[in-house]
Structure formats: structure tokens, C-alpha cells
């Protein structure tokens, strides 16, 4: 018991300052017997410098000294050090400084010099206790600060491995440890059977297989017990802290090895709570990502299947009428050219391309007799033809991924002057992309052979666009397209195969 007190006392450094060497000698005997570590000085000025240069925990100071009194020594020390615990020694009670001075200088205690220094020894012991408590409080404060600083880091979205590494790195300084590991359930892999994640630091920085070899059955049992009872298990120089999530489910453990775990244990528990929620969060994010990936895969497959289906439908439309074969591809091509002139984004250009390809998909619902009729259509037949934008919109509405294409397909025969179909919309009521498809569609129709007429010359088609600008077509769209048409030869080459 005595030895243990002495060992603890050695952790504290005492400075004795008295201009009478005899007092220092007597005090040394008493302090040495109690196992304290101390230094004695007779010069008060030297003492001030000593405190400035070295770390002392407690100062025993004579009051009446030459060249300066004890209270002046304290005054100077307090200018740079507020933590030093100071006990003032007085030769006689009447010679002690006034109480106000003692309070103002934060002198923690004073006593008269006695033959046996019993009273002083008691004051030193209680001083050391206070210092020890202050040290614990300070350590706790520092630990809490560290936790507060590190918590945002472990909440950042990052792979679970990095989070575990961060947690381990933050834990060690809290308890002055070098060796620790985390063992948690991987809830994202439970179905595959591979459901444990291990991360170690210090001597536990190992691969899972090597780590498993290190684990003895006894320790496994303690880990199990910490998890089942959701309680900290303290072993000799080791501690196992269960990780419990917000739903009070255990998700794993943190194991820490160290010589002095007791002091930091509360901090460790506090930090583990934060660690549990950040691990849980990371898992939830992974689960969401996994589900998202699965959904995206399914969505891509759906899209592919649907594109295949629509492509097949389009081929049927094209196949129905050799005169319109290739028309959809060319409309898509011209529309994209116009979109480029407007500096459209990649996404908008793709939307234009798909709208161009599918703009006439509704013709699949128009009877062959009307589609293939070589004479001029009568009013009833024309009304039937005019239904194709709505039919196309309905076909594409079946799948949500084409929801942006639907209004474009539906409005590709609307006119700026309101004389178009199916709804007779005017100007800005017509989606801008539909106005583009309308110009591309009309232009391609003009330069293609039809059953009832031959293709127009390029110049004639160009003039018809200009004539229709502001009535049938959007002025700005025509303007941009005419500008693009200056490269018509190049464009014609690019789509040459579809013109054949
Ligand atoms: Fe059409």
C-alpha cells in the first residue's frame, strides 16, 4: 500500500523555496519519507526562473525572504503560470500576508513552520489530491474536445474501412493505448454469409485470417458476452466495449489494450456511442447505394428492352412505307444540328435525338390504306393521319423514362400561328424542342421523294422554310437551321446513306 502511494507521489514534482537552508533540509527529510520528488532552492529569484523553465506541480514557499518576499514571488509567477499549486510557509501567524493577498494571488494554503511539519505534510497531501483531480478533469476535457473534433470526420461519407481506421486512430490517444481493434457485422453482406469486418491497429494491424489465429477462445467468449449483455467487459489491461446502434442493436465491439485504461474508460464509452452511429450511418448509405445500383441496373435493362421494342416498332413504321424509310433518322440528325446551334447540353441533344427518331411512331396505328394512298387524301383520311402525334405520345407514355419525349412527339405538327394539330397551340405554348422537330421534319419531307410528288431542290426547300418562318415555324429555329444549312453539303454527306 505504502509502495503504491510512493509510486503515485513520484508523478508529482515539488519545489521548496526558503532562504534558510536548514528548513529545506528538514522538509526534504519529511517529503522524501512520503515518497515525493522535489527540488530545494534558497534564492527566490532563481525559483521564479526555475518555475518558468520546468514543470512543477506544487510550490512550498517561505514568506519572509531576501531579496523579495514570498507574496512577490507568487505575484511574478502568476504572471505566466496560473496552474501551479502554492503553499505559503510563515514563521509566525502574525507575520502572514493579509487574507486578501492570499486570495488574490490564488495561494491555495499556508501554514506556520513547525518542528515536525505535520500540518504542512497534510496540506501537501491534500494539494496533491487536488492536482490529481484537476489532471483527470483536464484529461477528460481534452478527451471530450478530441471527440468533438473527430466526430464530424467519422460522419463524413466515406468507405467503412476508412471510418474504422479513423475511429481507431481517435481512440488510442484517449486512453494512451497503441493496440486496438474493431470487429463489426457487415449488414450489407449478411445474405452472402461473409458478414464480419475487422480492422486493427498496432499489434492488431493484421489481415482477418491472421487476426483470427490471434484470438483465443477465452477472448472470443468475453467478446460474445460484451455483445450479448451490451455491457463493457474489463479484463486485465484490456477492455471490450460493445457498439450499440440507435435501435439498441449490437453491431460489434471495440477492443482496446493499454496499461492505464481506467481513467479514459468513460471517454472511450462516450466515443464508442458516436462511433456506433457513424458506422451505422455508413452501412445505411452503403445499403442505399447497393439498392440504387440494383435499381439502376434494372432501369438500364428496362430502357434497353424498351428501346429495342420502340426500335422494332419504328422499323415497322419505316418498313410500312418505303417513302419514309430513313426519315426518322434524318429528322433526328437535323434536329440535333439545330440543337447544337443553340448550344444545347448533352442531355438536351439526346432528348432531341430520341424525339426525332420516335416522332412518327404513332403512324404504326394508322391504316396501310391511308398511309400508302397515292392520291390526295380526303378530309376523313387526313383527320385519321392527324391522330398520329397523339397515338405516338400514348405509346411513349407507357414508360416513364420517355416522359420528356412525350410532349415533343405530341406537338411536332403544331404551328406557331395555331393552325397545326392536334391542339392548335400557338407560339410559346408549343414546347421549344417540338418546334425544332417540326422544322427538321418539314425540311426532310421537302427534300425527299414522296409517292405524290418529287423531292424539292435544296434551294426551294430552304426558301419554303423561310416563307413559313413566323407562321408555320419558329423564327429563331429557322434562322439557326438556315445558318447550319450553309454546311449542307457536309451534312448531306454525313447522312448520305439514308438519302439513297
Ligand atoms: Fe409526323
The alpha carbon of 389 and the centre of ligand 1 are apart by a number of angstroms equal to: 6
Whether the domain at 2-135 and the domain at 321-499 fall into the same CATH topology = no
The alpha carbon of 345 and the centre of ligand 1 are apart by a number of angstroms equal to: 25
Domain 2-135: which CATH number of 3.40.50.2300, 2.30.30.90, 3.30.230.70, 3.90.1150.10: 3.40.50.2300
The alpha carbon of 325 and the centre of ligand 1 are apart by a number of angstroms equal to: 13
The alpha carbon of 241 and the centre of ligand 1 are apart by a number of angstroms equal to: 71
Q: What is the CATH number of domain 156-288?
A: 3.30.450.40
The alpha carbon of 459 and the centre of ligand 1 are apart by a number of angstroms equal to: 23
The alpha carbon of 430 and the centre of ligand 1 are apart by a number of angstroms equal to: 15
**So where are the chain's domains?**
2-135, 156-288, 321-499
The alpha carbon of 404 and the centre of ligand 1 are apart by a number of angstroms equal to: 17
User: What pLDDT does 115 receive?
Assistant: 63
The alpha carbon of 414 and the centre of ligand 1 are apart by a number of angstroms equal to: 10
The alpha carbon of 451 and the centre of ligand 1 are apart by a number of angstroms equal to: 16
The alpha carbon of 411 and the centre of ligand 1 are apart by a number of angstroms equal to: 9
The alpha carbon of 488 and the centre of ligand 1 are apart by a number of angstroms equal to: 23
The alpha carbon of 361 and the centre of ligand 1 are apart by a number of angstroms equal to: 8
The alpha carbon of 413 and the centre of ligand 1 are apart by a number of angstroms equal to: 6
Domain 321-499: which CATH number of 1.10.3210.10, 3.90.245.10, 3.40.605.10, 3.40.50.300: 1.10.3210.10
pLDDT along the chain (500 residues), means of 10: 52 90 88 89 94 93 89 92 88 74 83 78 89 80 74 71 86 87 80 74 86 81 90 92 87 90 82 83 80 83 76 69 74 94 93 90 81 80 90 81 90 96 94 97 87 79 93 96 79 58
The alpha carbon of 442 and the centre of ligand 1 are apart by a number of angstroms equal to: 9
User: What pLDDT does 45 receive?
Assistant: 94
The alpha carbon of 437 and the centre of ligand 1 are apart by a number of angstroms equal to: 9
CA distances from 50 to 42, 47, 69, 108 (A): 12, 5, 17, 20
User: What pLDDT does 4 receive?
Assistant: 44
User: What pLDDT does 220 receive?
Assistant: 86
The alpha carbon of 371 and the centre of ligand 1 are apart by a number of angstroms equal to: 12
The alpha carbon of 474 and the centre of ligand 1 are apart by a number of angstroms equal to: 17
Amino acid at each position: 500500500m505504502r509502495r503504491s502511494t510512493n509510486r503515485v507521489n513520484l508523478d508529482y514534482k515539488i519545489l521548496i523555496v526558503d532562504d534558510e537552508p536548514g528548513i529545506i533540509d528538514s522538509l526534504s527529510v519529511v517529503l522524501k519519507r512520503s515518497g515525493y520528488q522535489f527540488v530545494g532552492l534558497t534564492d527566490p529569484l532563481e525559483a521564479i526562473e526555475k518555475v518558468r523553465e520546468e514543470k512543477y506541480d506544487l510550490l512550498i514557499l517561505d514568506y519572509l525572504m531576501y531579496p523579495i518576499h514570498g507574496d512577490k514571488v507568487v505575484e511574478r509567477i502568476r504572471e505566466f503560470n496560473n496552474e501551479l499549486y502554492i503553499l505559503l510557509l510563515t514563521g509566525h501567524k502574525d507575520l502572514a500576508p493579509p487574507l486578501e493577498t492570499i486570495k488574490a494571488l490564488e495561494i491555495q494554503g499556508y501554514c506556520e513552520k513547525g518542528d515536525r511539519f505535520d500540518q504542512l505534510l497534510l496540506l501537501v497531501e491534500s494539494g496533491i489530491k487536488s492536482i490529481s483531480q484537476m489532471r483527470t478533469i483536464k484529461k477528460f476535457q481534452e478527451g471530450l474536445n478530441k471527440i468533438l473534433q473527430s466526430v464530424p470526420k467519422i460522419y463524413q461519407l466515406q468507405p467503412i474501412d476508412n471510418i474504422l481506421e479513423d475511429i481507431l486512430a481517435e481512440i488510442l490517444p484517449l486512453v494512451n493505448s497503441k493496440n486496438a481493434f474493431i470487429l463489426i457485422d457487415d449488414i450489407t453482406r449478411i445474405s452472402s454469409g461473409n458478414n464480419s469486418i475487422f480492422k486493427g491497429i498496432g499489434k492488431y494491424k493484421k489481415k482477418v485470417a491472421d487476426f483470427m489465429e490471434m484470438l483465443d477462445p477465452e477472448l472470443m467468449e468475453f467478446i460474445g458476452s460484451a455483445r450479448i449483455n451490451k455491457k463493457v467487459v474489463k479484463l486485465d489491461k484490456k477492455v471490450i466495449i460493445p457498439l450499440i446502434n440507435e435501435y439498441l442493436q449490437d453491431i460489434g465491439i471495440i477492443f482496446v489494450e493499454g496499461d492505464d485504461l481506467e481513467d479514459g474508460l468513460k471517454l472511450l464509452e462516450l466515443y464508442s456511442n458516436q462511433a456506433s452511429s457513424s458506422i451505422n450511418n455508413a452501412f445505411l448509405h452503403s445499403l442505399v447505394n447497393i439498392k440504387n445500383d440494383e435499381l439502376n441496373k434494372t432501369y438500364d435493362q428496362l430502357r434497353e428492352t424498351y428501346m429495342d421494342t420502340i426500335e422494332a416498332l419504328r422499323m415497322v413504321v419505316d418498313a410500312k412505307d418505303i417513302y419514309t424509310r430513313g426519315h426518322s433518322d434524318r429528322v433526328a440528325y437535323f434536329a440535333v444540328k439545330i440543337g447544337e446551334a443553340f448550344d444545347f447540353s448533352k442531355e438536351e441533344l439526346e432528348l432531341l435525338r430520341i424525339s426525332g427518331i420516335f416522332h412518327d411512331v404513332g403512324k404504326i396505328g394508322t391504316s396501310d390504306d391511308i398511309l400508302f394512298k397515292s392520291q390526295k387524301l380526303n378530309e376523313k383520311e387526313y383527320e385519321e393521319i392527324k391522330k398520329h402525334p397523339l397515338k405516338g405520345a400514348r405509346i411513349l407514355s407507357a414508360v416513364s423514362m420517355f416522359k420528356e419525349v412525350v410532349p415533343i412527339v405530341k406537338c411536332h405538327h403544331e404551328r406557331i400561328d395555331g393552325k397545326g394539330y392536334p391542339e392548335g397551340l400557338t407560339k410559346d405554348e408549343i414546347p421549344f424542342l417540338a418546334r425544332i422537330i417540326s422544322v427538321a421534319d418539314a425540311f426532310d419531307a421537302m427534300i425527299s421523294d414522296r409517292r405524290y410528288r418529287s423531292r424539292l431542290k435544296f434551294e426551294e426547300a430552304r426558301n419554303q422554310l423561310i416563307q413559313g418562318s413566323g407562321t408555320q415555324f419558329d423564327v429563331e429555329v429557322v434562322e439557326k437551321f438556315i445558318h447550319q444549312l450553309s454546311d449542307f453539303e457536309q451534312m448531306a454527306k454525313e447522312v448520305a446513306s439514308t438519302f439513297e
